[in-house]
Amino acid sequence: MPTTVVKSIGSAGGRDYSTLQAWNDAAPANLVTADEVWQGQCYNDSEFVSTLVQLTVGGSTTDATHYKELTAASGQSFQDQVGVRTNALTYNTANGVGIRSTNGYGNGSIDIEEDYFRCSRVQCKGDAGDTRTIGGSTFKTGWIFKDLIIHGAQFGQTAPGGGKGLGASATVINVAFLNPQASAATVNSTNTGSSFIACAFVRLTSNSPAGHAVDQAYAGTNTFTMASCAVFGFSDVSQSGSVASGSKNNATDLASFPAGTANQTSVTFNATTPFVQAGSSGTDLRAIASTALATNGFLDATNAPNDISGFTRPANPTIGVWQLASAAVTTGRSYFL
Amino acid sequence: MAELLVRVVDKVNTDDFYLNIQCFKAGMVIAVQPDGWLWGKEEVANPAWRIFKVPSVDPSQFSNLLSPEPSTDPGTDAKTLQPRGFKLSLVLLGGALGPTFIIDNTQVAPNAVNPIPALPNVTKVGPVIRKQCAAAVPQATLRAATVAVTPVSDPNAIGASPAHVIG
């Protein structure tokens, strides 16, 4: 059983590290032989912001049970706020840890160059130009992303060009993707076997419809699965042959969903439906009531028993990251470990 | 003024050639922050790191020391690109600061009177270890010590070395 080594990261003084990169650099070169999970817990002392890549994750030997994980410390995530069910679901550092890139073109905030990296409970934004956030520049495997708010495009790819992206067997759970770009894909995926569970892919209405939700390299050979995801504002979900037949219970404004079963199609999409606000101002990706998203989702009790706010999902959940509820009762938070 | 967190010994991954390239090596700058930055407990105490102050220079001037090695062929895999395209020559820095500061990981600040205020985030266990250089590094010295990293050839790429050329 690996030991989880927890290190604090923040700018207030008294933390283990004040920079994300130092946290990575201090990790053992071989987490497998060290028998460790190297976990960095971010504190919302101040926004993590830079014009350069703030964290290159790399250098360590990892596997599925020995890996690096970046997350928010207890009480420091947007998930942990008392007003989590009433706060707008959008990038806002007043609500929790935020990592932002002001780079006008390329690279984003976090560059992942090793296998099995995990990231959870933080917000990430690409400010200008390319709006990249998190990704890699080489083919990796086994990444897991959970309970994130991502404001940007081309998630999964760090550097422009080169065709790199999510890699093989990535798992993306409860991630709210808000794509501000005119046509760039929301996610770049480059290998097969990735899964998107209870995510929301939304392009601002001012730029809709346009581009792919997921840009999949080698479509037809490489496929990914979508379950209980909301996909709105795109010209298509992905290239033909990319969406695996096992996909199910998704919702889209498109006239058809490329594969799978029990999908909701031609769902009305504008600035105020099916999300609170998908326009360019005051964005809020919480689902509203009385749309085709309600009760038509798929419950993945293993990976996504709770929604992005920590609210328990019923057997017939709301499609996407946000579970509609008649009573705003919150339950446990969704830590990885 | 800027403060630089610099690795002074190679980090090595002996198990994987490509992961080893991703490990920061001696002279590579981990982070740059403004003067007075509240470094973390382990950033101050890690014997593999040092903190240098550079007067009269904004942190934004050090982007070259924080940028990855650029690709000369964007269409090829980036597996041999190093996390930093430039690093600091510790030989040249040692000549300016005195070699003891870089080599000796048990040392205290080189000045007899330590002008650094007591850091509240340093837990004193045994001798006080200060990795923060009390003497500022002139920008000219830092600039003279900045060198490009040597590109790494991929041993598995055909044509990367004479042994892999076909014909």
- DSSP letter at A106 equals S
Peptide bond into A274 cis (omega under 30): yes
| Residue A271 or B158, more confident | A271
The answer to whether the Cα torsion of B91, B93, B97, B100 is positive or negative is negative
DSSP states of A316-335: SPPSSS----SS--------
| Contact between chains at B40 and A15 (C-beta distance less than 8 A) | yes
What does the pLDDT read at residue A332? 45
Complex confidence, ipTM: 0.90
HSE, CB side, 13 Å, CA atoms: give it for residue A53.
28
| Alpha-carbon gap, residue A182 to A185, rounded angstroms | 9
Res B117 pLDDT > 80: no
| Residue B120 or B44, more confident | B44
Most confident of A45-59, A131-145, B79-93, B104-118: A45-59
Decide if A9 touches B, using CB distance below 8 A.
yes
Residue B115: pLDDT band with limits 50, 70, 90: very low
Res B155 pLDDT > 90: no
Q: Which residues of A touch B31 (CB under 8 A)?
A: 18-19, 21-22
Task: Please report which residue ranges of A146-265 form alpha helices under DSSP H.
Answer: none
Residue B119: pLDDT band with limits 50, 70, 90: very low
- Provide the terminal-to-terminal Cα distance of chain B, rounded to the nearest Å: 56
Q: Could you tell me the two tokens for B49?
A: 């790191």
| Contact between chains at B15 and A61 (C-beta distance less than 8 A) | yes
Cross-chain CB nearest to B74 (options A18, A139, A161): A161
Task: Please report which residue ranges of chain A form alpha helices under DSSP H.
Answer: 20-25, 31-34
Q: In this complex, how many residue pairs, one in chain A and one in chain B, have their CB atoms less than 8 Å apart?
A: 113
- Closest CA of chain B from A29, distance in Å: 5
| Alpha-carbon gap, residue A284 to A272, rounded angstroms | 9
What does the pLDDT read at residue A189? 86
| Alpha-carbon gap, residue A159 to A24, rounded angstroms | 20
Three-state secondary structure call for residue A189: strand
Substitution target in B10, B13, B65 with the highest count of A β-carbons within 10 Å is B13
Decide if A7 touches B, using CB distance below 8 A.
yes
State the residue for tokens 């020559």.
Answer: B89
Res B124 pLDDT > 80: no
What does the pLDDT read at residue A229? 98
Mean pLDDT of B56-67: 90
What does the pLDDT read at residue B106? 56
- From A169, A149, A301, A324, select the one nearest A251 (Cα to Cα): A324
The model's pTM is: 0.91
Beta strand B49-54 with B2-7: parallel, antiparallel or unpaired?
antiparallel
Q: What is the full per-residue pLDDT of chain A (337 aa) written as tens digits? A: 999 999 999 999 889 999 999 999 999 999 999 999 999 999 999 999 998 899 999 999 999 999 999 999 999 999 999 999 999 999 999 999 999 999 866 678 999 999 999 999 999 999 877 789 999 877 799 999 999 999 999 999 876 655 578 888 999 999 999 999 999 999 998 788 999 999 999 999 999 999 999 999 888 889 999 999 999 999 999 999 999 999 999 999 999 999 999 999 999 999 999 999 999 889 999 999 999 999 999 999 999 999 999 999 999 999 999 999 863 334 444 445 4
Q: For B10, name the nearest residue in chain A, comparing CA atoms only.
A: A25
Res B148 pLDDT > 60: yes
| Contact between chains at A51 and B60 (C-beta distance less than 8 A) | yes
Q: Which residues of A touch B118 (CB under 8 A)?
A: none
Q: For A162, name the nearest residue in chain B, comparing CA atoms only.
A: B75
Residue B99: pLDDT band with limits 50, 70, 90: low
- From A184, A179, A183, select the one nearest A203 (Cα to Cα): A179
Residue B76: pLDDT band with limits 50, 70, 90: low
Substitution target in A5, A6, A8, A25 with the highest count of B β-carbons within 10 Å is A25
What does the pLDDT read at residue A128? 74
Residue B102: pLDDT band with limits 50, 70, 90: low
What does the pLDDT read at residue A243? 96
Q: With contact defined as beta carbons under 8 Å apart, do A232 and A301 qualify?
A: no
